[in-house]
Amino acid sequence: MLDNIADGFLGLFMFLTQWLSPHSSDGEIRIAAVRELTAVTAVECVISIEWNDRMSDLLDAGIPVSFAIMSYSDKGDTVRSIRTLSCDVADYTYMISDSLLNGADSVYTSKKIPQIFRAVKLYQRFERTFSRDASILHVEAVLLPSRVNRLNRSIDLSEICDCRKFSLHLVRKGTEIRQ
């Protein structure tokens, strides 16, 4: 009987641990378009994030949403970047910035976008290029904890959108690219 009760307590403890721990389910990155250019293949990706009102509220409060995006292929082509969507609280405009982490840190910032849903739609889309002879292509996006600068703390947005990691795995067979 003691063993059964010990197993019961262990099961309860594991359930509570799982229940209390942050969500870590995986999401996906969809392919919007594939373009074969002269030397590279450009893959336009869309992060399938479940955007909701709470995410909008957080963004409107000046809390940025950031993804660490990494892409690579069997021929190298490794690119790492931080893609951030932020809001200017004073005039309710939104801005997307990409920080490339390859060698010289380059930052690309978009124009101010006045509508949140348009900003989100643009934010979800990004493009990655791979060598044309690469047969395995991989794209991965991880939702980063967001800094709440005015309250000097950070929050984990993955609990709100139910996903932390998003990924896309592609295989090229001849001229065709499949997931």
Chain residues that interact with another protein, rule: CB under 8 A: 1, 5, 9, 13, 16, 20, 54, 57-58, 60-63, 89-90, 148, 150-151, 155
Q: Minimum Å distance from CB 27 to another protein? A: 21
d(CA 157, CA 142): 11
5 vs 37 by CB, closer to another protein: 5
Cα dihedral angle (15, 28, 79, 45), rounded to 10 degrees? -160
Is residue 45 within 8 A of residue 127, CB to CB? The reply is yes
42 vs 151 by CB, closer to another protein: 151
Q: Minimum Å distance from CB 179 to another protein? A: 35
136 vs 151 by CB, closer to another protein: 151
16 vs 33 by CB, closer to another protein: 16
Can you state the percent helix, strand and coil of the chain, rounding each to 5?
A: 20, 50, 30
d(CA 168, CA 179): 7
Nearest CA-CA partner of 32 in 48, 19, 20, 21: 48
Q: Minimum Å distance from CB 149 to another protein? A: 8
Q: Minimum Å distance from CB 151 to another protein? A: 6
